[in-house]
Chains A and B, each alone.
Chain A
Amino acid sequence: MSASAERRDPEPELAFLEGIEAGRTELDPGELDDLFEGVRGRVEKSGARRLNALAEQPTSRRRLFALACCALIVVGLGALLPHSNQPLPPLALGAIFGSFGVLLVVAVVIAFRPIYVPALSPVWKIGLGVAAVAAAVSVALVPELHAHLTARPAEGAFLGKALPCLSFGLLAGLPGYVFLRLLDRGAPFGPLLAGVAAGLAANMVLELRCPVGGAEHLMFGHAMVVVAFVVGVALLERLVLRRA
Chain B
Amino acid sequence: MAVVSTLALHAMSLPRAVRARVRSRAVAGERSDEELMLAYVDGDEAAFRELFERWAPIVHGLTRRHLRDEDLAREITQQTFFKLHGARKDFRRDGKLRPWLLTIAMNLVREHWRRGKRRRHVELDEQREVAPTPDKSRLELEQRAEMLHEALAELPETQREVVELHYFQERPYKEVAAIVGSTEGAVRVRAHRAYRKLEAILQKMGLQR
Q: A: which residues have CB within 8 A of B?
A: 1, 5, 8-27, 32, 35-36, 38-39, 42-43, 46, 55-59, 114-119, 122, 185-186, 188
Tell me if B85 and A36 are in contact (CB < 8 A): no
Tell me if B107 and A13 are in contact (CB < 8 A): no
Q: How far is the CB of A129 from chain B (nearest CB, A)?
A: 16
- Cβ of B119 within 8 Å of any chain A Cβ, yes or no, is no
Instruction: Tell which of B10, B90, B134 touches A23, judged by Cβ atoms closer than 8 Å.
Output: B134
Collect the chain A residues with CB atoms within 8 Å of residue B111's CB: 119, 188
Instruction: Tell which of B100, B141, B196 touches A116, judged by Cβ atoms closer than 8 Å.
Output: B100
Tell me if B167 and A32 are in contact (CB < 8 A): no
Collect the chain A residues with CB atoms within 8 Å of residue B178's CB: 118
Q: Contacts A14-B167, A42-B82; is A26 near B107 (CB within 8 Å)?
A: no
Tell me if A18 and B17 are in contact (CB < 8 A): yes
- Cβ of B31 within 8 Å of any chain A Cβ, yes or no, is no
Instruction: Tell which of A15, A185, A186 touches B7, judged by Cβ atoms closer than 8 Å.
Output: A15
Tell me if A24 and B167 are in contact (CB < 8 A): no
Tell me if A20 and B56 are in contact (CB < 8 A): no
Instruction: Tell which of A10, A19, A26 touches B195, judged by Cβ atoms closer than 8 Å.
Output: A10
What is the CA–CA distance of A18 and B142 in the complex, to the nearest angstrom?
Answer: 11
Tell me if B56 and A35 are in contact (CB < 8 A): yes
B residues 169-206 near A (Cβ < 8 Å) are: 178-182, 185, 188-189, 191-192, 194-196, 198-199
Collect the chain A residues with CB atoms within 8 Å of residue B85's CB: 39, 43, 46
Extra A-B contacts (9), CB below 8 Å, given A13-B195, A43-B82: A15-B7, A15-B14, A16-B7, A19-B14, A19-B142, A19-B144, A22-B145, A27-B57, A115-B83
Tell me if B8 and A22 are in contact (CB < 8 A): no
A–B complex contacts, Cβ < 8 Å, 10 sampled: A10-B166, A14-B7, A27-B57, A32-B56, A36-B52, A43-B82, A117-B103, A118-B107, A118-B179, A118-B182
Tell me if A12 and B11 are in contact (CB < 8 A): yes
Question: Which residue of chain A lies nearest to B166 when distances are taken between CB atoms in the complex?
Answer: A10
Collect the chain B residues with CB atoms within 8 Å of residue A14's CB: 7, 163, 167, 195, 198
Instruction: Tell which of A13, A25, A118 touches B131, judged by Cβ atoms closer than 8 Å.
Output: A25
Which label, helix, strand, loop or mixed, suits the secondary structure of the B interface? helix
- Cβ of B24 within 8 Å of any chain A Cβ, yes or no, is no
Collect the chain B residues with CB atoms within 8 Å of residue A55's CB: 86
Tell me if A23 and B132 are in contact (CB < 8 A): yes
Q: Contacts A19-B145, A118-B107; is A8 near B89 (CB within 8 Å)?
A: no
What is the CA–CA distance of A232 and B15 in the complex, to the nearest angstrom?
Answer: 55
Interface string of B10-52 (1 = CB under 8 A from A): 1110111111000000000000000000000000000001001
Tell me if A15 and B11 are in contact (CB < 8 A): yes
Tell me if A5 and B87 are in contact (CB < 8 A): no
Interface string of B47-80 (1 = CB under 8 A from A): 0010011001100110001000000001001100
Tell me if B130 and A25 are in contact (CB < 8 A): yes
Tell me if A39 and B81 are in contact (CB < 8 A): yes
What is the CA–CA distance of A32 and B15 in the complex, to the nearest angstrom?
Answer: 22
B residues 77-113 near A (Cβ < 8 Å) are: 77-78, 81-90, 99-101, 103-104, 106-108, 110-111
Collect the chain B residues with CB atoms within 8 Å of residue A16's CB: 7-8, 10-11, 14, 144, 148
Q: How far is the CB of B57 from chain A (nearest CB, A)?
A: 5
Tell me if A22 and B138 are in contact (CB < 8 A): yes
Collect the chain A residues with CB atoms within 8 Å of residue B60's CB: 27, 35
Tell me if A13 and B8 are in contact (CB < 8 A): yes
